[in-house]
Structure 1
Amino acid sequence: MKQLVGVLLALACLQVQAAEEQTVVLISIDGFRHDYIELHGAPNIAKIAEQGVRSDGLMPVYPSKTFPNHLSIVTGQYPSKHGIVDNNFYDTERQQRYKMGDGVKDSTWLTTLPIWNLAEFQGVKAATFFWPESEARINGRTPSYYFNYSTPAPNRQRINQMVEWLKLPEAARPRLITGYFSIVDTMGHRFGPESHQVAKAVKHVDELIGELWQRIHDETDVPVNLILVSDHGMSQITAQDMIDVNALNINEDMFEVVNAQTRLMIYPKEETTEQQTQELKQRLMQQAAQFVVESEQQLAQLGVTDGPRKPAIVLGTQAPATFTTRPQDQRKDGGTHGFHSSRDMDGLFVATGPAIKQGGELKRFSNIHIYPFMAKLLGLELMTEIDGDAAVLAPIIR
């Protein structure tokens, strides 16, 4: 009799556990600024936000670039910890340059545990339809299902595939899905954040998100929690305010120079002495007018720690100024990101679903807190040290 009671209790526990199992669909809309819903009109996203929670803004980590921030969202770590410190950078120990997506060919560029690995290691299947470095074999694993980030795919195909994943039999179905759309960012760079081209891109993505959410309800019976984020916002830049890198006269026989547009990163080569580095730094400080030489204290406050990927000298700008190597006749107005965190750099955060409370104010917060939030929704135990804090988003969980 006792054995029977034990079996029944165990079955009851399993049933409760199964009933509580949640699914997370995380969608990134690259370059979707915090105010685009109102500025350009995104009624579907606005409606989804009314069903759940929307923050006043999502603060990017430094620098506010695509790859560092996408990795921070899915790791809960600052770039110095997860390894991807910019879209492009130099490593003085490896004596190599990283450019976007190099982790696919060599996963040792990444020193982290992304959410899809955390899930897979704990028996939860994951699927990614594009996310920076999501197809890299990190810690020897990939998501159960993924698409190569660089492979062209129509936006609607991405929606179709995510719905199909959710319709798989339970044993094969992923409980974590990530998706990614780049068109808003692309139009923002070309035409600026307040352009009609960005408005058109916002409306296109808004229709896709609305379709996805409707189809999840109509075609599946899975308890899906939808999280909409963006990696950063966008600021207007002007050709007349661009700073000519060549005019700074940095000796590239002595220094590796990486132009990140909003930042100039300078790394000493092996034979370059500390004195030569300091002499260059002092000269640049005297030249500084449209830019600043970032102090060690400022970099530390931004989460930058010592290591081979930390530049010896960082020059920073504020919108509308940027660094360029283009001749004057090839410079154009447009938009960009990568500046220090500001309202223009704030992205989007919207969450809704059966595990998310409806309504309530949510102040702007750093994107490093999304990782422990997703882990909690999925019932995952954290396995590594992170910078994010689960307490930040705990109040919006039912």
Structure 2
Amino acid sequence: MRVIVLALLLVGALQVSHAQEQDQTVVLISIDGFRHDYIEKYDAKNIAAIAEQGARAEGLIPVYPAKTFPNHISIVTGQYPSNHGIVDNRFFDTERQQKYQMGDGVKDSTWLTTLPIWNLAEFQGVKAATFFWPESEARINGRTASYYFNYSKPAPYEQRIDQIVQWLQLPKPARPRLVTGYFSLVDTMGHRFGPDSEQVKEAVSYLDELIGDLWQRLQNDVDAPVNLILVSDHGMTQITAAEMIDPAQLPIDNELFTVVNAQTRLLIYPNQETTEAQVNELRQQLEAMPNRQFVIESEAQLQALNVSQGPRKPSLILGVDAPASFGRGAPEEWRDGGTHGYHSHRDMDGIFIAAGPAIKQQHPLPRFQNIHIYPFMAKLLSLELLTPIDGDETVLQPLILTK
């Protein structure tokens, strides 16, 4: 691994005032599944050095559920899942009578009821570019970012870094001032081997080198004031095969209900002819099960988690705590590993780091929810908010250097 930490500390040290007078650029990078403590746990020196030059939160709190697609969309819209439409990685819509799976918005953008940051920018004359951000290929409100790629998981990570830099080296009329990028490796290794594994350590080290290289090139090879924001959609925690629940053993009549296994939650939707009495009967049967490992989420709890009524809200949600989960596939195939999607606690926290010419250095920042990043980015880009959001611009306003 190239040693670039000392260079990082020197390269970003000066935040020149004239840069603040120019149009600011934002590069938003998501490292999927990067838990809040991985920086210290796995000695991510380059990311730590970037944080020293800007601001780092104690943790980034995911929206409920702590899953990839709902949280990535919340980060770029400032809305809770019930408002932007992507309420889980997989769910059912009782009005459409259709199931959603990750990426279905590319084929049918009506799954999303929202205005992502790249559209907000484009509508106000600011070019945007996205490299694999979830649902960034979807033609939301009739358009995409000026520059984007169709998702291809094998695309080399070095290529993604090169492309981000190349976009920012375009002539000013063609240059995007908002760029988003996405890296899934840490999450993939966390699922397969668990957060305490050597494989996750290696993935963190690899991503740390890539991010360090990106930061250095943003300083040396790009003639624009670039603010880098590093986030993750959620953290990761250990699960065990011994604690997995077999959904097939639950007293759910598939003639009456559609079930979506979200691993940390079981989502139960009534079919079109199912009555409220039958829903209540199933609830009572589930509550009466002896030694059950799950809970049935109460309406009050769901409201507190900002889950609102609508065709994508299940009639019953069964939730569990780690290391339990709902098993997928045949029980003999179940394995220990890691996952996310539980109620917000420290293992579910992601990261938030921001550094650049418009960001105050080493500003102390407590944990906060990721819906507040959208208005922060809009402020950095001098964009006007065009739609109602759930995020609060005052949460991160103190990070921005005044001219």
What range is the shorter-chain TM-score in? over 0.9
Q: Distance in 1 between matches of 2:153 and 2:72?
A: 18
The reply to whether residue 312 of structure 1 matches residue 315 of structure 2 is yes
352, 356, 360: which one pairs with 1:353? 356
Q: Secondary structure at the match of 1:304?
A: coil
Q: Secondary structure at the match of 1:283?
A: helix
Q: Secondary structure at the match of 1:133?
A: coil
Q: Which residue of 2 aligns with 1:9?
A: none
Deviation at 1:216, TM superposition (A): 1.0
| Equivalent residue runs for 1:2-151 within 5 Å | 19-150=21-152
Contact 1:246–1:325 (CA under 8 A) maintained in structure 2:
no
Q: Secondary structure at the match of 1:368?
A: helix
* 1:127-153 superposed Cα distances (whole Å, 9 cap, x missing partner): 001100001000001000001124531
246, 265, 272: which one pairs with 1:244? 246
Q: Which residue of 2 aligns with 1:335?
A: 338
Q: Distance in 2 between matches of 1:329 and 1:90?
A: 28
Q: Which residue of 2 aligns with 1:387?
A: 390
Structure 1 residue identity aligned to 2:225: P
Q: Percent identity?
A: 70
368, 371, 389: which one pairs with 2:371? 368
* 1:66-113 superposed Cα distances (whole Å, 9 cap, x missing partner): 000000000000000000000000000000000000000000000000
Structure 1 residue identity aligned to 2:400: I
Q: Distance in 1 between matches of 2:207 and 2:276?
A: 49
Contact 2:70–2:89 (CA under 8 A) maintained in structure 1:
yes
Deviates more, 1:143-152 or 1:93-102: 143-152
Structure 1 residue identity aligned to 2:337: G
Structure 1 residue identity aligned to 2:270: P
Q: CA RMSD in A?
A: 1.2
Q: Which residue of 1 aligns with 2:13?
A: none
Q: Distance in 2 between matches of 1:123 and 1:152?
A: 32
Q: Which residue of 2 aligns with 1:234?
A: 236
Contact 2:328–2:334 (CA under 8 A) maintained in structure 1:
no
Q: Distance in 2 between matches of 1:306 and 1:150?
A: 35
Contact 1:267–1:311 (CA under 8 A) maintained in structure 2:
yes
What TM-score comes out, normalization by structure 1 length? 0.95
Q: 1:319–1:151: structure 2 CA closer, same or farther, 3 Å change rule?
A: closer
Contact 1:133–1:149 (CA under 8 A) maintained in structure 2:
no
| Equivalent residue runs for 1:268-347 within 5 Å | 268-287=270-289, 289-347=292-350
Structure 1 residue identity aligned to 2:303: A
Q: Secondary structure at the match of 2:27?
A: strand
Residue segments in structure 2 that go unaligned for 5+ positions in a row: 1-17
Contact 1:235–1:337 (CA under 8 A) maintained in structure 2:
yes
Q: Distance in 2 between matches of 1:42 and 1:68?
A: 27
Q: Which residue of 1 aligns with 2:172?
A: 170
The total of aligned residue pairs comes to: 383
Q: Secondary structure at the match of 2:348?
A: coil
Q: 1:50–1:332: structure 2 CA closer, same or farther, 3 Å change rule?
A: same
